[in-house]
Structures are given as structure tokens and as C-alpha cells.
Structure 1
Amino acid sequence: MSLSRLALACVCALTCIASLSQAAEVFVEAESFDNHGGWSLDTQFIQQMGSPYLLAHGIGKPVEDAVTVVELPEASKYRVWVRSIDWVARWDAEGSPGKFQLSLGGNDLETTFGTKGEDWTWHDGGVVELAKGENEIRLKDLTGFDGRCDCIYLTTELESTPPNDSSVLSPWRREQLQLPADRQTKSGYDLVVIGGGYSGMGAALSAARMGCKVALIQDRGVLGGNGSSEVRVWAMGNIRRGKYPRIGEIVEEFADKATKSPGTFEEFGDAEKKALVRAEPNIDLMLNHFAYGVSMHDAPADAPKRIESVALLNTRTGEDLSVAGKWFVDGTGHGWIGKWAGADHEMEEKGRMGMSNMWRWDEATSPTSFPDTPWALDLTMEDFPYPRDHHGQWFWESGFDKDPIGEAEAIRDWNLRAVYGAFNAMKNGDGAADHENAYLSWVAYVGGPRESIRLMGDVVLTQDDVISKREFDDGCVPSTWSIDLHYPKKEYADKFADNPFISVAVHDRRVDRSYGYPVPYRCFYSRNVENLFMAGRCISVTHEALGTVRVMKTCGMMGEVVGKAASICTANQCDPAEVYHRYLPELKELLELPGKARRATSTAPIEIPNDAMDRATSVGPSTGLAPSTLGGLVVDDSDAKRSGNWTLGEGLKPYVHSGYRYASANSNSTIQFEASPKTSQTYQLRLYSVGHDNRSSKTTVTVAREGSDPMTQVVDQRQVRSEPWIDLGKFDLQAGTPVTVTMSTKGADGFVHADAIVWVGID
């Protein structure tokens, strides 16, 4: 292997011989190994411990060796240092599950690593004699239980100790990596999006299709965030509905198809997500790049704050660079970019939601074994809910009152101790008799966080705003998830009161789950960093309101709105707040465009491709009879005016569009279908209603027209008919004159069924 290839891989040999320092040094970043083997690249905790690292996540079986080759400048004795951690030592747990060995030049070192330090530290591997030239290094996992290696340092200065600096790209590490004093800068971007989850993808795709030059930065090798194969949280939240039912069409292009959570690897379509983003010529996709800081424009202290660029660490090569742009999107979920930029922000002191690491077990055709885990949580089968359908689901969650950023690695590791402790109870404890053939098939080592920093905008949305349907003129993203807040589940919390690992969801269901509550645009930009957007779970809401907006499809729609707003900023050279104050009508026009609409630049003509999706109605895309096929003027229940208590149903088919409504006989409910025909003629009135035994046989229907007395009739909704409608007769209607059809539960003897009415013109 050539020396230039080694440098490219960031295996840096620094020769300081003779007249310099009389010492030779070689510094090797574990993530830059030529072959990671079975070790995984973990980039989640760079902010806490300073670097990406390799993780031996074998769920109880040692993983394949990670291998690389280094060029030693001279034959000599070298002291070996390995930066690692005993990941259970912070709890004084018995044993060290993350043990691994190092092989140098074909020889295994006697030292076992991963056995020292409750924090990341240098572990002395002793002195070895090594030959000049190419030497192979191997990381040899001994347990399969999450051993971790940050980097390796070899030095002929046998008495020296490397500094244990946990800052990202510390001065010593920069020197070892031979990084230039001035980092390379990439520029020319209209919009820089940090975070490749649903919100970041939505923002990048939306902005690019509206003519912006976009950089999309993601710290991992896959897109989707919590909705990737690494975390496997299925995407929730209804899309394509509300005031702007075109919003959500982009999300639908990349959303997972999982039927359970956690789903399977294939259901999350990592490759398809990358292909969709890379197909956009206006997007520069930067995977495996971690944003670790921001640079601000020089300005007086009392001037508005503006971000100039973000500093990035290439998590594979160690390269240091910055990306400059005009506008930025914090889609990190944690609000890091905003916090570093000095944006106003909040974080709950107590009662925060935690992080989940889901898991799955399966059954082999013959007995299996699982190592004892004395370092895991000491659990019996009564200490956790039995994994339904072999799935450890979303409620395997901890870290409720822990620091979701500073203690993130400890929260993840506690979750791992809980999972391994539970499976140990199943295999080696009081559940062994029932799980002879069981084996762990998947455990998420990438955590799924729910709550941390929230960045404050010109509107801070509250729970009362959502449930009272407070109207904002810039309301745009439909939030349909209930206000869903997580707390430790009491029946499992007592044994581990300091950090419970099973949660319960407490729902406030007063959210309109069909139409959705329109979250205002002013929640999507910072009130004091003038070129910063935000999308996802770090937007401007209270802790309670976060419970409804935080689900992934809703976050993705936020990104779509932000991307369109960014194109207005680009076209008019204005900032996000000005979009609301000066260009809100223009934004609303863009929100009416199909998700696949595009233009080459932010001022070019907009083109609508032939494969654009059909526009959904205010309660979502059609799953039943398409209104366009019914041969008349259709008024769906989703567009009717309702009073009383109507329940959305989908069980009786066929129905029109996306469902129907039903109300009980004693609910004092009404529903009004209003229409204005375009032509004057005779129309047949059809009431779409599928017969069923529990429906009313005495449903009152009234037709009211201007200039005519109301006509009331009683219809039987129990009777099963060959057609899915009831013929209510013929009516002469005048063009432009409103006509109202009202259904009432008064006098009903069962559920009143309201689906749609259709006025069919008669020649």
C-alpha cells in the first residue's frame, strides 16, 4: 500500500526523527481502517467524546476483525496506546463486556482493551518491537458485546502519554492527522441542510426542486434518521391533507413501508432514499459528515446573528472542512446548529421523553445458546413486558431526566444493558424453558431520541393552540398525531427508579386526526438568527405540543415547507421571517404545487411533470371510490360541515374517497353537504351509504334550496342495496344557487351513516 493511499485513508505516519524530536509516531483513526470487518462505524457521540469510533456490535457473537496496514518509519520499540472505554464501568457493573485485542505485525498484544475507564481514555498496550515498513493492524473482538475503539497511537517515545482531549478535532489530533491550519471551504449553496432524517430530506428535495442549490449533510452513511434501517421506527403522522394537501407528496416518495415497528431492513429502503436524493442535480449529498460547529458573520454585538458556515468532520477520513451558504436548516433533531449559533432555545428540565433502542428475537430450528451477561441489568421475566410478536418495541426507552446530549452515549448503553438483561432472562434465567431455540436477530445500536433542544421562532406553538384549533394565517403543516408524551411505566420503574427503561405513552386525543392541526410557518425559523430555518422535533413548540408534531411524516412535511420558503428567500434575497411578512401569498402558492413540480432556478418557470400525484382532499389521498369516477358533483363527508360527535370510519366498503362518518342516535349530531351547481338542469341526488344492521332505518335527510321550501324524507340505512347509494329523487337546480343536504340523528334508531352526496345531471 502506497504512502499516499495511507494518507487518503487517514492512517497518518508522522516521522520526527534525528534532528527533529528523536521520536517516530504513527496515529491511526479506527474509522479509517481499510476494512471494518464486522465492526460498525458509530458516529452518534462525536460531540461527547470527540470522534467517531468502531463498535463491535455482534449481539453476543464476536464480529469479524477490522484490518488496516500502516507504514512504520523505522524499526524500533513502540509503545502502543489505544483510546477506548469500559462501557459498563460507569455503573460499577461486574465484568467488561466490550473486550477486544490488538494484533500488530501478526502478533497479538497481551493487553486486553475495553476494560479500563468509565470515560473514554487512553489504555496503555505496552511496548512492542516492530519492523520498518508496512505492518498490519487488527482489531479482534472477543465478546460481540459492543467493544469500541476510537484510535491507536504508536510512539518510540516510550515514556510519553497522549493527551486525553475529548473535543472534536483537538489540537493534538489535528497535528497527528496533519490537517492544514485553514480548513477547506465548500461554497456556492443557497441552502445548507444539516441532518438527513425525514425533515432534512424533505427540506433538501423541496428546495432543490424549486431551484435552490442545496448541500445535504448527514453524519451517518444512510438517510432517514429514525426512519432508517439502523433505527427502524416506522413513519407516523398522516400526510397530504389539511389546508395544503399537496404537502406530504415528497414525503410519500421516500417514506418507509414498514408494517411493524421495528420493521425489517428491507422495509426502510436505504438505497432508495439515497437514489432519490442523488437524482436531484441541485443537491450535493454529503454522507458521513458530522457538523461540529458554526462560524458566524462578523457583526456588532447588537446586530442580528447570521450563520456563515458550518464546520464538518468527515467521519471516515478525518478531513476537516466547512460548508458556507446563504440560509441554513437545523434538521439535527437536537437543535445543535441553532444552539451553537446563539439561537433562543429551550429544553425541559424534567419530564423529557427519552431514547429508544428497539430489538427483535427469532427462533431457530434447534437449541441455541446465549452468553451470561452479569454486567447487564439483572432482570427476571416480570421486570419487562414480553416482546410481542418477537419485537422489543418503541417503549424500550430510557433517559427521561438525563441530559439527552451530554449523556447520550450512557443513555444508549443503558438501553443495551436492558435489552441484553432481558434476553439473558429469556435464555438463561426464569424464561429459559420457553426459549430454548430463541436467538437475538437484531438490536439497534443507533438510538432513536425523541426530545432535546427546541429552537424558538416567532410563534411558539402550545398544546392549547392545537386542541382549540387556534387559527394562524400561516398555518400549513397538518399535525394529526395525538399529543403523545412518554413517561416511565410505573409497574416496571421501581426496580430501576434512577433510570427506568420501559415507557408508557400518555395521549391527549383532542387532535383532529383526519384534517390535522395546521402548524404555522413561523415555528420553522429562528426568531434571532436571521438566516436559520428549523424542521423536525427542534422546531418552536412547547414540550406538550412537541408530542403531536414530532412524528416523522409530520417532520418531513415541515421540511417541504421550509424548502419552498428557502426558494423564495433565494429568489428575493430575503430571510425566513420576511417570507411571512412580505411573501406569504407567494409561499401559499408554492404550497399548492405538486411535490414533483420543479424549476431549474428559483426564478425559472415551474414545470409540472406527467407523473405528478393526484391532488388529495383535505382529509388525505383516496383509498376508496375516487370522486372523479362518480359522474357528478360530489360533496364528500370530509368537506361537509359537522356538529355533534361524528366518528371517522373505514370498515364498511365501498366508501367514497378516504372513509365516512357515523354518529349515534342520541348524539344530537348533524352534517351538512353544501354545493353550487355550475349549470341549471335537473339532477338526481344520490346519498352514498352502505347498508348494515347497526345503521338507522329512520335517518332524516333534508334538502334546502333558495326559493323553495325544504324537502325532508326518512331513509333506511340498514337495507343492503346492489348500488352503494340511496336514490333521493330528482331536483331542479339553478346554476350558482347553493343547495344544502342535511342529515340528522334526531329520531334515528341506529347509527347515522354519512359518506358523500352526488348530484348527477340528467339530460
Structure 2
Amino acid sequence: MKKLCISGVILTLLSFCASAQNHVFVETESFEDKGGWVIDQQSFVVMGSSYIMAHGMGRPVKDASTTVKFPKPGKYKMWVRTKDWAPFPKGPGKFEISMDGKKVNQVFGASGSDAWKWYDGGETDIKTGSVKLSIKDLTGFNGRCDAILFTDDLKFTPPNEFETLTAFRKKLLNLADKPADAGQFDMVVVGGGIAGTCAAISAARMGLKVALIQDRPVLGGNNSSEIRVHLMGDVDKNHYPKLGRIVREMDNGDPGNGNPDAKEYGDARKISIVKAEPNISLFLNTHVYKVEKENDIITAVIGRDIATNKEMRFTGSFFSDCTGDGTIGYLAGAEFRMGRESKAETGESLAAEKADDFTLGTSNLWASLERDSVSSFPETPWAIQFSDEYHIDEPKADWQWETGFGNFNTITDAEKIRDHNLRAIYGNWSYLKKNKPAKYAKKELAWVAYIGGKRESRRIIGDHILNQMDIQEGKFYPDGSVTATWTIDLHFPDAKNSKYFEGQEFFAGTKHIKVAPYTIPYRCLYSKNIQNLFVAGRNISTTHVAFGSTRVMRTCGMMGEVVGFAAYLTTKYKTTPRGVYQEHLPELMGILKGETTAPQP
């Protein structure tokens, strides 16, 4: 039935296209000059596309522009796909569109509706074969635009339903049924955070041919300049001298959380280390959204460039899901968990009484700087409102600025979470500027993250599920590999924040439960039911409680290093990740201990 429905969607779409002589479809992320607008791909899973956003922190950004070619002159109707991200009753994301310098007689992004949809931009008379299309931000407060459509079928209405719109995009973007071949690899690592980068380097240095795929222009994930979280967890307390060496290379010191100086997070350094590895092919700005498999074996993944929309196919012998969201495992049908288990299920004293969807949240950090002169900040009636009774009197954010906690799904609600964080940041800052001039008159917002720093989503189930007892009792399994040192650090809504914003919290608290150094079994680092899938990072096989300790980035980086060593053995012996545990564990442990020097294949 599902196949018949999809076929019906495609047939309907073809009839749409046949009824129009010409459609000209423009994805905004593909604009030749994006000006001050930025690309956001974090909602690709619910939109099927990236989009551009005017992230000016209250100051309008430079225009985005591109040249649009038309197949013939004539009358066209323009449609603009956008939303009003913070309606009150109309939000701040206003923008205008111009064609060859002439403004369209309509303002977009302030409709009062927070749903993505197409808006009628009116008719236009195209007299030449090409037109310069420009988008002008009017506020600097995160206006956004997904795509622009011109059609000479003046009665045509573009689709909004996901499946139909996805097929519509694919056809009009001329995306080939067979994406370009990126090559055949021993190991395909998806996710370029600390875990994925370390996994790629480790495997490459063992002689494997590796593809490292990252959906942003920088490596490091939460430790990049886009999110700016410092590295936590110790690498000098582990049992194995070979573990942690690559993590140290990635480590750019400790600039703290939310440092306004982007260089402190070492983006260029991370990329240069990866590019120095001859066995790694690096693919930045590539979002993997599709998996091909035969039975329980992944054969390839499909990625789309978040700016150009060009698609590539990566074939491999082994794959490592370092996405944080467990995206590859999920697409491949791997067993996973998301949320909290119950005490009855796990026997953990820190588990919830009942299983639920509660997850740790997502942070958007920010910072201000002292300037030489007094500055103002716009009124923000559409933002969260603060008062003398409740506001946050700080010149910069730390980890506590966090939204999620089961009220939002960290994957499908990524845009809502980020926007809620922005409404809190801008509302609080507006209050401080207006009501505390002695402290804030000369301070100015210097940086606000527009990419959310996620903590928790899916956890891929392996042959062992690490739990609270494993951690607190310091159980040392024969395959104990990565040594972890971070506390059991489970965030929850701050009590005072909950009092004023119940169900809409954006500020967190925690209670650190100290642990002695313990080891994470290798069996947590591969999928239980997908034969050739490794995992590393925050989506490994743990309970929610144990995840509170394993999730920090130095620890995740060492997981990646172990995965690289294990991938070498799977290739050497033509076995599986599980086969390494069952048949070659002494050799893996020998590599970790530095007793075995693995030959380069």
C-alpha cells in the first residue's frame, strides 16, 4: 500500500509538471552570493532541504543574490517558501525580494504562521533571459527562506506535503536517479565531530581507505567554532597508552564554553590534520540522508551537498555512525533507544520510574563583549519576556542555556528548539540592555550560535548496553576499551526556570555524580543487528543514565580511535565488528595496550 501511495504522489506530481510550460526552481542555499545569510541544514530530516537564514543578532545582514535564467520571456508567477518563526502576532523575520533591483510588492516572513509553506509573490513580467534575484533582510532577527519558484502556469500552486514536495524538488533540481560515484572505501565515517574525526584518522593511519563525511563546513561538531563547547573527559587516566593520542591532536586547549573568539576552537587546525592524511577523503557540507543495504549489511550511503544540492554515493565495506543522532543506524534499521528507560527495566537507581521520551536538551551558546561606546538593542515583543522578578544577569552563556527535556524531539524539532533558544537569548538581552544600563550599556552581542549543540537523541543498541552499575561498580569486562572519567551528568530543567516557564524551559540544572575511571566495553561500539556498522560518540550503546557519563567529547574521541583500530581488524580478517570481539579480541586489546604494532595493509 505504501508503494502505491508513493507512486500516486509521483503521478500527481508529473501531472502538475505537465500542466505547466515552465517551472524555474531556485534553492536559496544555492545562491551564488549569500551575503550575510547562513545555511541551516539541521532540519533536513523534516524539510528535505537546507535553507538560508539572516542571523544578524538584531542587525540586518547583507543581501543574498543570484542570477536566475528563464527559458523564455513572459509572465511568471512567483512563489516563496518561508515561515514566520516567532509570530506575536507577527514575528521579526521580515525580508524583501528584488528582481533586477525592483522590489516585489510584498514583505515575507511575517505572516503570523509558523509553518513552512509557499507564499504567493504575485505575477512578474520577465523580459530577458536572466534576472538578478536578491533577498534583503529587514531586521537581522533570523528571517529565513527555503526556495523560490517561478512558473508560467499562473494557476499552479506548488506542493507543501513532504513526500510530494520532495519529489517536486528532485525533479526540478534535475537530481539524477544515480548520484555521482564518490568511490569505494574500506570505511565510511558519517559525522565529523570529535568522535568521527578521530575514527577516520585512526582507521586511515592503520592503512584503510576512509571517507569522512560532515554536514557542516567545519569539523569538530560541538567543539567547532559554530557551537563552541569545550572538550571534557580525561585522556591521561586510561589503561591503554595508544588511546587518546589523536584526541590530543584535536585538542586546541580549553577556551571554555561560548568564547566569542572563533579561532580558539581550532577549526582550521582540525581540517589541516585530516587533510594531511593521504588515506582520508574529506567531504564537508554533505548531509547523508539515505542508506542502501542488502539484508543486514549496509552497502552505500547517499549524501547531498547542503549548498549545491549535488548528490554523491559512497560505497564501503564498513560504516561508522558518528552522527550523534544515530542517523545511519536509524536509516539502516538498527535497533535503537531514545529517551529514558524505567527502573524496572534496567535496575538502575537513577533511572526514571516510568520510561518516557525525556532527553537532555540542545544548547545555543552566546557571548557579549565590552565596546567603547553605548549601544542599543531592539525591542523584542515576540521573544520570551523577562522581568525584574526573573531574568538571567550574565554577559555570556554557559552550558545551562538548554532546551529539550522531553518537551521537544531533538531530531524532528531541531528548528523549534533552536528558535526557542534564540527567543530566550534575545528576550533576556533586550531586558538587560534596557533595564541594567550601568552594567550593559556598552556591552554588545558579539556572537550567538545558530547551529544547535545537541546532547542526546538516539542510542544505537550493541551487544552490550552500558548501565549505571557498570559505571559505579567499575566493572572491567574483557573488552573494556575506552576509559571514561566524567561524572554521571544528567541535566534537568532548572527549578526557578520551570517556575516561570513550565513546559517551555530553556535553562538547565544538574547534579554531578562522581565516578571512578571505568572502561566502556568494545561491544558498545557496534550495532547489534547491522553487521557492518560501528558507532562512536554520544549515540553508542548505553542506557540514558550511563549516557550521562559517556557523552563528553574527549571520551567520544577515544571511542573513535578504538573503532579505527577495530575496522583495521575487520578488514584484515574479512570479518565483522562482532567477529573482532568473538575471534580477534586479544589482538585488538594488544593494539590498545601498545603490545601489538599492527602492520600497514
Q: TM-score, normalised by structure 1?
A: 0.72
Greater Cα offset, 114-123 or 265-274: 114-123
> Measured at CA, do residues 144 and 398 of structure 1 come closer, stay the same or move farther in structure 2, by a change above 3 Å?
same
SS at match of 2:291: strand
- State the shift of 1:327 in Å: 0.7
Aligned to 2:279: 282
Report the Cα offset of residue 594 of structure 1: 11
Determine helix, strand or coil for the equivalent of 2:490: strand
Distance, in Å, in 2 between the alignment partners of 1:20 and 1:167 is: 19
Contact 2:192-2:214 at 8 Å conserved across structures? yes
TM-fit CA distance, 1:24: 2.3
- Provide the residue aligned with 1:473 in structure 2: 478
The 2-side partners of 1:222 and 1:125 are apart by 35
Aligned AA for 1:569? T
* Paired letter, 2:585: L
Q: Which residue of 2 aligns with 1:534?
A: 535
- Structure 2 equivalent of residue 13 of structure 1: none
Q: Does 1:355 align with 2:352?
A: no
2:583 aligned partner: 582
Question: Corresponding residue for 1:400?
Answer: 405
Residue pairs, 1:484-495, within 5 angstroms:
484-495=489-500
AA paired with 1:113? F
Specify the alignment match of 1:100 in structure 2.
95
CA deviations 1:132-188 (Å, max 9, x no partner) are: 222101110000000111111111111111111435982111110112222233332
Which residue is 1:666 aligned to? none
User: How far 1:339 moved relative to its partner?
Assistant: 1.2
How far is 1:29 from its partner? 0.9
Where 2:171 maps in the other structure, the secondary structure is: helix
Equivalent positions of 1:323-362 (< 5 A) are 323-348=314-339, 349-362=356-369
Which letter does structure 1 place at the counterpart of 2:570? C
Question: Hey, what's the Cα distance between the residues in 2 that align with 1:115 and 1:259?
Answer: 38
On the 8 A contact 1:73/1:132 being kept in 2, the answer is no
SS of 1:193's partner is strand
Q: Please state how far the C-alpha of 1:372 moved relative to its aligned partner.
A: 0.5
Asked if the contact 1:345/1:453 (under 8 Å) is kept, the reply is yes
The 5 A counterparts of 1:510-659 are 511-512=515-516, 516-593=517-594, 601=600, 603=601
- Distance change (3 Å), C-alpha of 1:251 and 1:22: closer
Residues 576/20 of structure 1: CA separation in 2 closer, same or farther (3 Å cut): closer
Residue 211 (structure 2) aligns with: 215
What residue identity is the alignment partner of 2:469?
Answer: D
- Structure 1 pair 381–209 and aligned structure 2 pair: CA distance change class (3 A): farther
Query: In structure 2, what is the equivalent of residue 273 of structure 1?
Result: 270
Q: CA deviation at 1:324?
A: 1.1
Cα distance in structure 2, aligned partners of 1:343 and 1:168: 27
**Partners of 2:19 and 2:153 within 8 A in 1:** no
Q: Secondary structure at the match of 1:247?
A: coil
Q: Distance in 1 between matches of 2:391 and 2:543?
A: 31
Look up the match of 1:715. none
Shift of 1:598: 8.3
Q: Which has the larger radius of gyration?
A: 1
- The residue type equivalent to 1:351 in the other structure is F
Identical-pair percentage = 44
The answer for the alignment partner of 1:70 in structure 2 is 68
Residues 639-677 of structure 1: CA deviation (Å, up to 9, x unaligned)? xxxxxxxxxxxxxxxxxxxxxxxxxxxxxxxxxxxxxxx
Distance 2:18 2:100 in 1: 26
Deviates more, 1:258-267 or 1:148-157: 258-267
For the residue of structure 2 that corresponds to 1:273, the secondary structure is: helix
Return the alpha-carbon distance in structure 2 between the equivalents of residues 169 and 188 of structure 1.
Answer: 32
Measured in 2, the distance between the counterparts of 1:294 and 1:22 equals 34
The Cα shift of 1:382 comes to 4.2
Cross-structure match for 2:390: 383
1:549–1:384 Cα change, 3 Å: farther
Q: Where is the helix percentage greater, Structure 1 or Structure 2?
A: 2
1:307 matched residue in structure 2: 298
Q: What's the offset of the Cα at 1:380?
A: 2.1
**Larger proportion of strand:** 1
- The number of aligned residues is 567
Give the aligned residue type for 1:295: E
The superposition leaves residues 711-735 of structure 1 with CA deviations (integer Å, 9 ceiling, x where unpaired) of: xxxxxxxxxxxxxxxxxxxxxxxxx
Instruction: Write the distance in 2 (CA, Å) between the matches of 1:70 and 1:134.
Output: 5
- Rounded to whole Å, the distance in 2 between the matches of 1:232 and 1:167 is 35
- 1:113 matched residue in structure 2: 108
Are 1:37 and 2:61 counterparts?
no
SS at match of 2:53: strand
- Secondary structure of the residue aligned to 1:170 is helix
Q: Structure 2: where are the runs of 5+ without partners?
A: 1-13, 340-355
> Which of 413, 420, 426 is matched with 1:420 structurally?
426
Q: Name segments (4+ residues, structure 1) moved above 4 Å.
A: 19-22
Q: Is 1:152 aligned with 2:148?
A: yes
Higher relative contact order (CA 8 A, sep 6+): 2
1:241 to 2:237 alignment: yes
- 8 Å CA contact 1:395, 1:502 repeated in 2: yes
TM-score, length-scaled by structure 2: 0.91
Deviations 1:316-356 (A, max 9, x none): 11112221111111101011111111111111124321011
Question: What is residue 46 of structure 1 aligned with on the other side?
Answer: 44
Structure 1: which 5+ residue stretches go unaligned? 1-15, 300-304, 604-763
Alpha-carbon offset, residue 49 of structure 1: 1.5
Residue 174 of structure 1 aligns to a residue whose secondary structure is helix
- What's the C-alpha RMSD, in Å, of the aligned pairs? 1.9
Look up the SS of the partner of 1:556 in the other structure.
helix
Measure the CA separation in 1 of the matches of 2:221 and 2:143. Answer: 24
- After superposition, the C-alpha distances for 1:109-134 in whole angstroms (9 at most, x for unaligned) are 11111123322111111111122222
Distance across 2 between alignment mates of 1:167 and 1:216: 29
Q: Which residue of 2 aligns with 1:88?
A: 86
1:242 is paired with a residue whose SS is coil
Shift of residue 95 of structure 1?
A: 2.7
8 Å Cα contact 2:591/2:598 also seen in 1? no
Structure 1 324/331 Cα, relative in aligned 2: closer, same or farther at 3 Å?
same
Verify the 8 A CA contact 1:236 1:551 in the aligned structure 2.
yes
Shift of 1:386: 2.1
Partner in structure 1 of residue 120 of structure 2: 124
Cα separation, 2, equivalents of 1:488 and 1:21 = 53
**Aligned-partner SS, 1:23:** coil
| Deviation of the 1:241 alpha carbon | 2.8
Partners of 1:209 and 1:598 within 8 A in 2:
no
Go from structure 1 to structure 2 and tell me whether the alpha carbon gap of 1:167 and 1:393 turns closer, same or farther (over 3 Å shift): farther
1:251-304 superposed Cα distances (whole Å, 9 cap, x missing partner): 11012323321122011111111111111111110101101121111x4xxxxx
Q: Is residue 239–residue 593 contact of structure 2 (8 Å, CA) maintained in 1?
A: no
Amino acid at match of 1:591: L
Quote the offset at 1:88 in angstroms: 1.4
**1:456, 1:540 within 8 Å by CA — same for their partners in 2?**
yes
Matched, 1:262 2:258: yes
